[in-house]
Amino acid sequence: FVGNSTYLDDHGPPPQKVLPFPSQVVYNRVGKCGSRTVVLLLRILSEKHGFNLVTSDIHNKTRLTKNEQMELIKNISTAEQPYLFTRHVHFLNFSRFGGDQPVYINIIRDPVNRFLSNYFFRRFGDWRGEQNHMIRTPSMRQEERYLDINVCILENYPECSNPRLFYIIPYFCGQHPRCREPGEWALERAKLNVNENFLLVGILEELEDVLLLLERFLPHYFKDVLSIYKNPEHRKLGNLTVTVKKTVPSPEAIQILYQRMRYEYEFYYYVKEQFHLLKRKFGLKSHIRKPRPRPEFFIPSALETEEPIDDEEEDDEKWLEDIYKR
């Protein structure tokens, strides 16, 4: 016991036993990309599978000072494992502050659709109660609340122009000040982080496939997630988070948004392509459903995934093993 007490005196507590699967997962959820639906599922899953779901009450602070980053990383790193931490926060580099880099997961969606969902949600809330937007944005003046979306875009109101429209990329680029500037630097850094630090970035338009892959990659967290998601009781809960009073802007306004969000779209299509490659690798076909009426048809869309290919199957288990070593 003498040796042990010396170790504690010099180094603090002994290192935690390494679990045989990723035991530190961060879901730095992007706003208005289905995250409330996923968090509802995680609450059910954490009870079912006994992992530690660590959530945050801070929803509107995505950029942190260096001290705030250190503090948050320390708090997350000392959570009981296996944990899944979730919060609206731009990517945090744990290794920069001497921590173990966790496995990251996230979901994004078509950038214009995300923007529209947020625009109307801030004003009119969702089906959980028409008044909850008043609590969310109590200081919003009536003329701002009822501001026509086309006027906002065409007359270049701050809410409908850059840098406000540069929203998704900083979640993947990180906390560096340049991550907030619409441009190639932030885009490339975001792509690099997706490749190096994210186990999976799914797209909301194919949520069932996202859940299937999460179940495959992180079974200790997501086993049975799809059956829970498809359960009629849960679907009722999910419908409560649908934004109300959404209207579609004019084709001209959509085209302007598309120009302003060109970096967001380049990132979105990059992630979509990577996601489809993963689906093919694991034999999932892209189900092309009849699209609901929404502004996407004004926007050039990426090619659909082809039939799954079989020639890489022998690598699948090795690929998962590599992830589990991280």
User: Looking at the annotation, which residues are catalytic?
Assistant: 88
Cβ partners under 8 Å of residue 47, min gap 6: none
User: Looking at this protein, which amino acid is placed at residue 200?
Assistant: L
| Distance between CA atoms of residues 131 and 160, nearest Å | 24
- The percent helix, strand, coil of the chain (3-state, each to 5) is 55, 10, 40
Tell me the residue type at 156. N
User: What H or E segment, with its residue span, contains residue 25?
Assistant: strand 24-27
Tokens of 135: 């609590």
User: How far, in Å, CA of 40 to CA of 46, rounded?
Assistant: 10
In angstroms, the CA 87 to CA 102 distance is 14
Query: Can you tell me the distance from the alpha carbon of 53 to that of 47, in angstroms, rounded to the nearest whole number?
Result: 9
Paired with 53 in beta bridges are 84
